[in-house]
Structure 1
Amino acid sequence: MIEMSNVYKKYSNGITAINGLNIKIDQGEFVYVVGPSGAGKSTFVKMMYREEVPTQGKIQVGKFNLVNMKQKDIPYLRRYVGVVFQDFKLLPRLTIYENVAYAMEVVEKNPKVIQKRVLEVLELVGLKHKVRMFPNELSGGEQQRVAIARAIANMPSILIADEPTGNLDPETAWEIMEVLEEINNQGTTIIMATHNSTIVNRMKHRVLAVENGRIVRDQAEGEYGYES
């Protein structure tokens, strides 16, 4: 599913963000990525959907070799790997329906398929009744639900969530986690970078702790293990 072998990432300013990383994540897992700020979590996660490219090493995501990948093949990877961001990244002039549909339109799905799937994923995240509303008419938690619906519209095998609860109040954060749990229960692999120790400690899953660009702890049913 996801395999990194001897991966390094050094930036032009001389900072080494990832330092000899080796990891394997199987289909259907739910994995938290934790660690202090500046530890390399974001770089680690971004390499999985080729927002960042390693300086050295091998990254295999499904059938895709991310190191030798051609630019024209990246859109195909992005269908296989959905991404949810902390700041939602919704298109403000499009309705909720149109925001989700857009993810399918860019890969030229059939309009009837789009309509059916958009309503399916909006029902999954509990927003089917708000299809005609715009992002600014929704709460932060609702906007994050739309972002999740958009990320899974093309049925990706992997969903990467980068601090998906970071801008949300505790109650809303739990609601988002319930949605992610449901998606995982349907077979989607979820990789979630987070600073939320309460969620990690209560909603148990595999924990990868990153420090100084290395994985220092890989623990099934793990705990957060940092001050927060």
Structure 2
Amino acid sequence: MRKQKGTKFKFECWEKFSCDYTCEVCIYLTFQARDPASDSLISFQTLFSDGGCGADFTIEWRSLACRLSSNERLDDYWDKSGLIDEFYMGDMPKWLSDEALAADNKKFYVVQEPDFLENDWLYLYSEIAFYAKTDCNLTTSPRLEVKKVVIETKEEYMTEAREKLKAENAIFYISYKYDGDDRSATGLAGDHRAIVRKTMDGKPGHMCLEVARRTEALTSPGETSTPITDFTKFVEYLDC
């Protein structure tokens, strides 16, 4: 992924787009991205899988491919039994309490202001969480103010806590605010919480994001999910 490899490609334009509707929604994308270092355009292929909303109100989205454009066969099998520890599987965790954060600070990292500037994908996580909880079709990318992010891993950090920003498997507790700038989502203006769990099965281009649509009892019984409709920022985050 981009943050592991230290590259920073920027989305430029779509080339191809196709969908396959089976037990999951699979979206095949070919797009161009610009390498700021050389100002050159590079063609990428990615496969996005939308697993929908589970019984526990958890949305599951996966990247099953992200590579330079090629005719080689994709390895689109997600290996749950591979490198993913059981700590990152099963039901989503509850919202992190202040007591838990204070009691075991080797497993947690409170993201600092400079980290947001260097890791803009943290804002993407809040946007994904916002899309996951809304049933409306936003006409613009929502303006969200990220107020606090805490990263949890099973593993304790070795040198400094900010190492958790590069963890392959991690849980993110995000507090953010939406100002209601889009008319179609004015009812959602205010403070929000999000729990996002990221896992990687060790295969190149593979990543799974699970989003808890309710962090406590915040989801109404009749609430349904809407698949993400704007993939641009998601694929910007990916890097082959």
Shorter chain as normaliser: what TM range? under 0.3
The alignment's TM-score, normalised by the length of structure 2, stands at: 0.24
- The structure with higher relative contact order (CA 8 Å, sep 6+) is 1
Per residue, is there more helix in 1 or in 2? 1
Q: TM-score, normalised by structure 1?
A: 0.25
Structure with more strand by fraction: 2
